[in-house]
Amino acid sequence: MALPAAAPAIVLVRPQLAENIGTAARAMLNCGLTDLRLVKPRCPFPDERANRAASGADAVLASARLFDDVESAIAGLTRVYATCPRDRDMVKPVLTPQAAIAATRAALGAGERVGFLFGAERTGLENDEVTLADAMVPFPVNPEFDSLNLAQAVLLVGWEWARAHDETPARRVRTGKGEAATKEEIDGFLKRLEAELDACGFLRNPAMRPAAVRNLRAFFLRARPNAQEIRTAHGMLTGLVERPHLAKAGKPRPGPRGREG
């Protein structure tokens, strides 16, 4: 994922805990955001507790800017979103986080500068501060327990930002170092397995045989083996049938359910 340099600013208004500023900075950098603005923090800042909580995102804290009020913090921006647990009784657009990020991407692409406001841990944003924003962005979570930790709220905006830029396919198969097996390789193993199962009597019921063989094939295809795994499967089959280790040691070959010793 390539995260673009033009990204929204995160404005924390009167944060109370240095730890939350640090965890918010970590969440920002996790998601490729670096422009942190603090309005009148109620805790010391800079502070060692913030740096510890940032777990390596110190650069975000070092470049954070302090402001006396929200107006100054957003003065250079062209578009501001106020995050809030639920929407206020105010005539103002309300966007989901994903819609706000979609609008942010479009605005940044047109040269605008965008920021997200986050209120203090306990009290949130004041109505006058929400009024400064172009839109409200509530988080549609559990209505019976909707108070998000400050850094968690920052993460959700960051996550929507990173997620919107992510181009990984929704589902892929990590095949490790092995390349996917060809149909011929899979078929070759299945034919051999079938023959051995015929030989040992497992497929002796002619009425059941066709379905059993089909199920076996369905199972193997579902697992999507790679070439190395087919080679391993051949090896296992050889081991089970020929017992070369026992043969080499000169021990008698036990029957299908026989035991050593």
The site for its own copies (CB under 8 A) is made up of 1, 3, 23, 26-27, 29-32, 55-57, 87-96, 98-99, 102, 136, 140-143, 145-149, 151-152, 155-156, 159, 162-163, 166, 168-178, 225-226, 229
Q: Which of 25, 7, 35, 157 is nearest to 95 (CA)?
A: 157
Closest CB to its own copies among residues 68, 167: 167
Task: Give the Å distances, CA to CA, from 178 to 217, 224, 225.
Answer: 21, 12, 9
Query: What SS3 state is found at 155?
Result: helix
Closest CB to its own copies among residues 87, 196: 87
Phi, psi of 83 (to 5 degrees): -80, 145
Report the distance separating Cα 20 and Cα 155, nearest Å.
11
Closest CB to its own copies among residues 171, 245: 171
Query: Considering the complex, what minimum distance in angstroms separates the CB of residue 34 from its own copies?
Result: 10
Q: Which residues pair with 107 in a beta bridge?
A: none
- Residue 11 and residue 115 in contact, taking contact as beta carbons nearer than 8 Å: yes
Query: Considering the complex, what minimum distance in angstroms separates the CB of residue 76 from its own copies?
Result: 23
Q: Which residue in the block uniquely carries the two structure tokens 């929400």?
A: 130
Query: Considering the complex, what minimum distance in angstroms separates the CB of residue 242 from its own copies?
Result: 26
Query: Considering the complex, what minimum distance in angstroms separates the CB of residue 92 from its own copies?
Result: 6
- Residue 54 and residue 22 in contact, taking contact as beta carbons nearer than 8 Å: yes
The DSSP 8-state label assigned to residue 15 in this structure reads -
Closest CB to its own copies among residues 142, 205: 142
Q: Which residue in the block uniquely carries the two structure tokens 């740096």?
A: 51
Query: Considering the complex, what minimum distance in angstroms separates the CB of residue 164 from its own copies?
Result: 11
Closest CB to its own copies among residues 172, 253: 172
